[in-house]
Amino acid sequence: MAGEKLQRQCRSEQRSANPRGTTFGVRNSHRKGGTMASQVSALRLFDLIHSHRVTAVIYVAARLGLAELLRDGSQTSGALAKATGADERSLGRLLTALSTIGICSRTGDGSYSLTEVGACLDSAAEQSFKGWAILEAEMLSKSWSGMLESVMTGKTAAELQGAADAFELMARTPENVDKFNVAMTELTRLVTPDILRSYDFSGISYLMDVGGGSGELLGAIAQQKRELRGIVFDLPRCFDAASRHLRQIGVSDRVEFVAGDFFKSVPAIADTIILKSVIHDWNDARSISILRNCHRALPSSGKLLLVERLMPEVPGTTDDHKAHALSDLNMLRGPGGLERTKGQYRELLEQSGFALAGVYPAGRFNVIEARPALMTAE
């Protein structure tokens, strides 16, 4: 009885202290189906809204070269401030933020060391993403601030600024071209092992990587397949980086760089053509133009390989689906392309004179194999 009396007294005091039935300004869970769930949902949204701050924190770490400074062991915030020229107290606050997102960790003596994730910000790391951190903050984030305009008009950032496309706009600033190329090389380096595990390149005599940039992908394939010969085909501005890379990895005797524009023509040399992350850049009309040029360059027994993301028919909330959807919006804001479903690729290939022959999952990407068929009238 005493216990029941105490419970009644507590409930009475709670009603007096909180007559409107709220908790921290939010109505209690018995109102309108449950507030606790609403609070959790609101906090989830609040965290999502702050995502850009994480990008900014990682970017500052990349620009200060913190991963390189911590490469050989832990250091104090004071030592890092001295090395970077940063304000020590402010840098300490940045390091705290970096530790909360798993980039570094604070040791017992107050110094900081890199985590495995943080080590990927080191430009010398085998799988570095320092270049992408810089690209994201200095170029992509700024572009995305105009996403509303692109959604309302259907136009890319370049079109809204009077440029032909994102690449023409980017070419106006050579420094931005360099940032883009470094980041693309990093991404290719990440997905190449998945591509090599997914697809059997045996039996290919001559492979041409159309839009191959620095030769990262074709170089790795040539290292694995010693009998393979190949061509990296891209704009003249890629020549120096590609030639240097192919020499460094020891395949320049079998793989060469050829300059050209895939919108104009593709050399008729190889028995297999591969394009990684090229077709998603462009709308259907421009994609068909590229693919038809590839069709003309291939023998009837040849193969076409597209390395692309595949949009799910019904998107879910998995990390992969989120990555695909955000990449799709990046294409909307950027070059004007899109991430396509398997069915959309099948249709695009058929309009370009190819028949879809197979799809080979490769991590978040896929190797889409197609064979030459009859090309429809242009």
Q: What whole-number distance in Å separates Cα of residue 159 and Cα of residue 332?
A: 11
Q: Is 280 a catalytic residue?
A: yes
> What are the helix (H) ranges across 225-303?
239-248, 284-297
Quote the strand ranges of 277-364, DSSP E: 303-308, 354-362
From the number of C-beta atoms within 10 Å of its C-beta (0-12, 13-18, 19+), residue 100 rates as exposed
Tokens at 333, concatenated? 């804001």
Tokens at 15, concatenated? 């009603």
55 CB-side CA count, 13 A: 18
The catalytically annotated residue of 280, 295, 321, 324 is 280
C-alpha dihedral, 126 to 129 to 135 to 141, nearest 10°: 170
> Do 61 and 91 form a contact (C-beta atoms < 8 A)?
no
Q: What whole-number distance in Å separates Cα of residue 254 and Cα of residue 224?
A: 13
Just list the catalytic residues: 280
